Chains A and B, each alone.
Chain A
Amino acid sequence: DAGVIQSPRHEVTEMGQEVTLRCKPISGHNSLFWYRQTMMRGLELLIYFNNNVPIDDSGMPEDRFSAKMPNASFSTLKIQPSEPRDSAVYFCASSLEYEQYFGPGTRLTVT
């Protein structure tokens, strides 16, 4: 298996633009997690899905952030409009049982 796939790996955008991050979980995994990592705040869970249904989105910073999982093999995290403080590395992870497998991350820079 190729592992968790994220795209793009790097994204540079201007403040106010819409940003969409994509994730393909490991086939057969039924849970998917979106995290954000910054130097100041460390690793934060934004939202997670189980069987394509959002279970907990309490970590989503504000209404500018939204996440979808239309099927078992694809999820998106959208930021609209983006702000400089959204600059971070965004990780997607998937799991079947106890272990979460992380993707390589998307490094987002908002100027």
Chain B
Amino acid sequence: AQSVTQLDSHVSVSEGTPVLLRCNYSSSYSPSLFWYVQHPNKGLQLLLKYTSAATLVKGINGFEAEFKKSETSFHLTKPSAHMSDAAEYFCVVSKWSNTDKLIFGTGTRLQVFP
């Protein structure tokens, strides 16, 4: 069965410092992996996706994630946090087809302090 585990429910960083949001996945086949962001009172927006192409995936707003099969991880990083990055971030896994379910992690709330 597929699952994702977001290792931190809350992460706090200072503006201008690096961001690391951790995600481990479990899947019996080659998964598709995603990161979504949800700003307060907004819908979810796709940040980036991994679908068995390059293992280092670049997304919007300067975020990137690296697929590491040996560690079953898909951590989200950004070199320098901005105040506007404060939001909830979801790590998501699915099979390869659009008819399959997305399995959402429990989310990590990112706070950015000035």
Contacts and interface: CB of A to CB of B under 8 A. Distances in A.
Does B associate with A? yes
B90 A91 contact: no
B114 interface: no
Nearest to A96: B98
Interface stretch (B17-25, B67-75, B78-86, B102-110): B102-110
Q: Which of B46, B98, B102 has the most CB of A within 10 A?
A: B98
Contacts of B96: 98
A18 interface: no
Interface residues of A, number: 24
Contact of B94 (A43, A98, A105): A98
Contact of A43 (B46, B51, B90, B99): B90
Nearest to A105: B43
A39 B94 CA distance: 23
Contacts of B49: 98-99
Contacts of B42: 104-105
Interface in A66-111: 91, 93, 95-105
| Interface range, B side | 20 to 34
Contact of A42 (B32, B46, B104): B104
Contacts of B34: 98-99
A56 interface: yes
Nearest to B104: A43
Interface in B25-39: 32, 34, 36
Top 9 nearest A-B pairs (CB, nearest first) are A102-B43, A102-B44, A50-B99, A104-B43, A43-B104, A95-B98, A31-B98, A98-B32, A97-B98
Interface of B: 32, 34, 36, 42-46, 49, 51, 90, 94, 96, 98-99, 101-102, 104, 106-107
Given A98-B94, A105-B43, 14 more contacts: A4-B43, A31-B98, A33-B102, A42-B104, A42-B106, A42-B107, A43-B90, A50-B99, A56-B101, A95-B98, A97-B98, A99-B49, A100-B46, A102-B36
